[in-house]
Amino acid sequence: MFIHEIEPGLALKLIDYQDTDRLYNLIHRSRTFLRRWLAWVDHTTKPADTYSFVDASLKGYVERKSLTTVILYDHEIAGVVSFHAIDWQNKKAEIGYWLGEDYAGKGIMPKAVSALIDYAFFELLLNRVEIRAAVFNKSSRRVAEKLNFVEEGTIRGAEWLGDHFVDHVVYGMLVRDWVK
Q: What is the pLDDT of residue 156?
A: 97
CB 175 within 8 A of CB 123: no
Q: What is the pLDDT of residue 162?
A: 84
DSSP strands (E only) in the chain: 3-7, 10-14, 67-73, 76-87, 92-99, 128-134, 150-161, 164-174
pLDDT digits (tens, 9 = 90+) for 88-145: 999 999 999 999 999 999 999 999 999 999 999 999 999 999 999 999 999 999 999 9
Report whether CATH 3.40.630.30 matches the domain 3-127. yes
Beta bridge partner(s), residue 130: 94, 172
Q: How many CB atoms lie within 10 A of CB 3?
A: 10
CB burial class (10 A; 0-12, 13-18, 19+) of residue 31? middle
What's the CA gap between 108 and 6, in Å, rounded? 10
> How does strand 128-134 pair with strand 150-161?
unpaired
